[in-house]
């Protein structure tokens, strides 16, 4: 079940990296969004793409390891 959740989360993050238009910086102390400062579009897409691919790969590896 966790494998499916990891792969679904990875696909969602990758879809956001493709179709996302606005990305905002988050405050690491309390994690509220700071809507006054947008992050650059390329860095948001890059981060979401890397995280999405990483989660999907981890899900597949865990799925194959249990077989």
Domain ranges for the chain: 2-65
Beta bridge partners of residue 26, listed in sequence order: 33
pLDDT tens, residue by residue, 35-66: 667 778 898 899 999 999 999 999 999 999 97
pLDDT average, residue stretch 15-33: 77
**pLDDT-based confidence at residue 27 (cuts at 50, 70, 90):** low
When mean pLDDT is compared over 8-12, 28-32, 33-37, 40-44, the highest value belongs to: 8-12
> Around Cβ 67, how many Cβ atoms within 10 Å?
4
Kindly tell me the burial class for residue 33, based on how many C-beta atoms sit within 10 Å of its own C-beta (0-12, 13-18, 19 or more): exposed
CA dihedral (39, 8, 56, 14) in degrees, to 10, reads: -30
């Amino acid at each position: 079940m966790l494998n499916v959740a990891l792969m679904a989360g990875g696909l969602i993050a990758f879809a956001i990296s493709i179709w996302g238009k606005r990305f905002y910086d988050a405050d690491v102390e309390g994690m509220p969004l700071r809507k006054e400062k947008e992050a650059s579009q390329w860095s948001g897409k890059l981060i979401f793409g890397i995280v999405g691919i990483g989660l999907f790969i981890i899900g597949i590896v865990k799925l194959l390891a249990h077989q």
